[in-house]
Amino acid sequence: MLERRQLTTLDGARKAQIVASEELIFLSGMQPDTTDGDIKEQMRGALKNVDAALAEMGEDQASIFVIHIWLKDMRYFSAMNAVWNEWADAENPPSRTCVSGELYRPDLLVELVVTACRSKGADA
């Protein structure tokens, strides 16, 4: 049975920001709440929303398998990476990919997709 949370039509498409099974959690379209800031502020905001979504599912950063990062422009990589390194557990970081591509909003600089496990079980 799949559990769907944070249903939205934020970008005009019906979707769930969180979809989970008994074993896995998928977070899609993780963005900052505001796009007023630079890449560092937007990355911090996106990671804050990842943390919040995982907490809603009773999990934390330790449950993450992989994060896929989309940057509007690879020129932001170094600054984004500095924020990543502040956030990621130095001893147990998740797997990660980072690519650049056109994002659906011109003011959006970063978007994340996360796959995590439900280490605490579906009853959390």
C-alpha 110/C-alpha 30 separation (Å) is 9
Position 122 scores a pLDDT of 53
Q: List the domain boundaries for the chain.
A: 3-117
What CATH architecture does domain 3-117 belong to?
A: 2-Layer Sandwich (3.30)
Number of alpha carbons in the 13 Å side-chain half-sphere of residue 37 = 15
- CA-CA-CA-CA torsion sign (116, 118, 122, 124): negative
Position 124 scores a pLDDT of 47
Q: Under 8 Å CB-to-CB from 85, ≥6 apart: which residues?
A: none
Comparing CA positions, the residue from 45, 25, 24 lying closest to residue 36 is: 45
Give the relative orientation of helices 39-56 and 77-87 as an angle to the nearest 10 degrees.
40
pLDDT tens string, the chain, 124 residues long: the values are 888 777 776 677 787 888 999 999 999 989 999 999 999 999 999 999 999 999 999 999 999 999 999 999 999 999 999 999 999 999 999 999 999 999 988 999 999 999 999 986 555 4
